[in-house]
């Protein structure tokens, strides 16, 4: 049964009141400079932007989300990083498969929060209450933990150059799968160019090639980084990463299911391979216990491989999905590196969530 116009308005009012209770309602400009989004998220997000160019050549886009404009404005106005809570409700614009789309989102941003865990709980509570407001009484909660993966990756036996590469693929199953394949069974080296095995000699040869092509030694990839990676590839071919490392990563990433059980699986895996994840596991357990107390009716699933593919996420992440349609109704998490990417000198606690208001409103129509 579809919601009537009056019902929709009542729900909107209730939603706005809920936001105002928790945070300062803010409305960043719809027209944003597109560099902000490209700089932070690259071409993968860039392709989703609705772009336009000013008479002076500056590129603009219609805001594709609220988080970035809110965080950028916060940095400008609050150089001392005092704790601030923002809320929003309004349209965002994105290119979709079927063309450009406009849809409403509501959400919260807790920037420089004193208590990150409390902010996270507030986000979850807000998402669950908003879903219930539109009749989604028993949504499913899909939980991930970026900190857990990062702690595992820090400690596992792996040449250091691979750690950031593996991290960058977290949240993209196919790309991660291919990278792990490659670590496990390095490619054939016969079609690789022959270069001296000594780093300085290899570097000299590369410099010569760069020179010939008129490439600067000071911008772009340097001869040193090319030589290092060339030799690293050869070394990998001769001495692949230990099979146990790849197996452990695969096993970890495939852990998914009812949340409490997964904590046991991860604990067992960590013990088996001698990696200390105690602190992160404790945080996860505490979160699950709190969830059970606060929202006993919500089914919680933990997925060790679940994360947005954005490298500023640092802690727990979540998606709330409809029990009726399977649609994602809300998503959020902790991204302590966001403000750092925007200019802060060090990580700053930041937690937020976004609710897909249009999906909830249409939910009544199905």
Binding residues for another protein, rule: CB under 8 A, are 38-39, 42-44, 46-47, 95, 97, 161, 164-165, 168-169, 172, 174-175, 178-179, 182, 187, 191-193, 195, 202, 205-206, 209-210, 212-216, 219-221, 223, 225-226, 229-230, 232-233, 309
- Residue 60 annotated as binding site: no
What are 176's two structure tokens?
């991660």
Burial letters 288-311, b for 16+ CB under 10 A, else e: beebeeebeebebbbbbbbbbbbb
Q: Which is nearer to another protein, 80 or 191 (CB)?
A: 191
DSSP 143: E
Q: Which is nearer to another protein, 6 or 219 (CB)?
A: 219
Q: Which is nearer to another protein, 202 or 281 (CB)?
A: 202
- Residue 66 annotated as binding site: yes
- Residue 321 annotated as binding site: no
Cβ 74 to another protein shortest distance, Å = 22
Give the integer Cα–Cα distance in Å for 361 and 49. 24
Q: How far is CA 25 from the centre of its chain?
A: 24
Cβ 101 to another protein shortest distance, Å = 14
Q: Which is nearer to another protein, 45 or 295 (CB)?
A: 45
What are 255's two structure tokens?
């852990």
Cβ 263 to another protein shortest distance, Å = 30
Cross-strand partners of 334: 351
Cβ 48 to another protein shortest distance, Å = 10
Give the integer Cα–Cα distance in Å for 143 and 292. 13
Give the integer Cα–Cα distance in Å for 206 and 200. 10
Cβ 122 to another protein shortest distance, Å = 30
Give the integer Cα–Cα distance in Å for 279 and 261. 18
Cβ 45 to another protein shortest distance, Å = 9
Neighbours of 81 (CB within 10 A): 16
- Residue 65 annotated as binding site: yes
Give the integer Cα–Cα distance in Å for 238 and 282. 39
Q: Which is nearer to another protein, 53 or 118 (CB)?
A: 53
Give the integer Cα–Cα distance in Å for 172 and 311. 12
Can you say which residues are annotated as belonging to the binding site?
Answer: 65-67, 94, 105, 109, 312-313
Can you say which residues are annotated as belonging to the binding site for L-histidine?
Answer: 65-67, 94, 105, 109, 312-313
């Amino acid at each position: 049964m579809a919601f009537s116009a009056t019902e929709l308005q009542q729900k909107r009012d209730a939603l706005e009141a809920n936001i105002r209770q928790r945070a300062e309602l803010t409305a960043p400009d719809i027209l944003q400079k597109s560099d902000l989004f490209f700089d932070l998220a690259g071409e993968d997000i860039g392709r989703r932007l609705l772009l336009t160019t000013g008479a002076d050549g500056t590129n603009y886009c219609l805001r594709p989300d609220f988080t970035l404009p809110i965080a950028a404005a916060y940095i400008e106005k609050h150089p001392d990083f005092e704790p601030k809570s923002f809320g929003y409700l309004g349209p965002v614009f994105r290119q979709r498969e079927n063309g450009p789309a406009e849809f409403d989102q509501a959400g919260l941003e807790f920037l420089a929060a004193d208590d990150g865990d409390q902010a996270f709980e507030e986000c979850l509570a807000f998402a669950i209450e908003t879903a219930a407001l539109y009749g989604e009484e028993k949504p499913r909660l899909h939980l991930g933990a970026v900190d857990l993966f990062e702690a595992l990756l820090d400690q596992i036996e792996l040449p250091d150059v691979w750690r950031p590469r593996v991290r960058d693929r977290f949240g993209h199953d196919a790309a991660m799968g291919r990278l792990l394949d490659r670590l496990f069974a390095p490619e054939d080296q016969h079609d690789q160019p022959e270069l001296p095995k000594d780093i300085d000699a290899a570097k000299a040869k590369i410099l010569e090639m760069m020179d010939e092509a008129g490439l600067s030694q000071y911008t772009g990839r340097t001869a040193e980084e090319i030589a290092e990676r060339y030799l690293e590839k050869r070394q990998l071919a001769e001495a692949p990463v230990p099979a146990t490392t790849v197996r452990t990563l695969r096993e970890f990433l495939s852990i998914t299911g009812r949340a409490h059980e997964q904590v046991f699986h991860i604990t067992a895996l960590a013990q088996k391979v001698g990696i200390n994840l105690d602190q992160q596991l404790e945080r996860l357990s505490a979160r699950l216990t709190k969830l059970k107390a606060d929202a006993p009716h919500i089914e919680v699933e933990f997925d060790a491989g679940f994360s947005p593919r954005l490298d500023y996420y640092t802690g727990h992440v979540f998606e709330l999905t409809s029990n009726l349609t399977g649609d994602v109704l809300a998503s959020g998490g902790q991204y302590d590196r966001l403000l750092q990417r925007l200019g802060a000198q060090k990580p700053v606690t930041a937690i937020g969530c976004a609710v897909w208001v249009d999906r909830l409103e249409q939910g009544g129509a199905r």
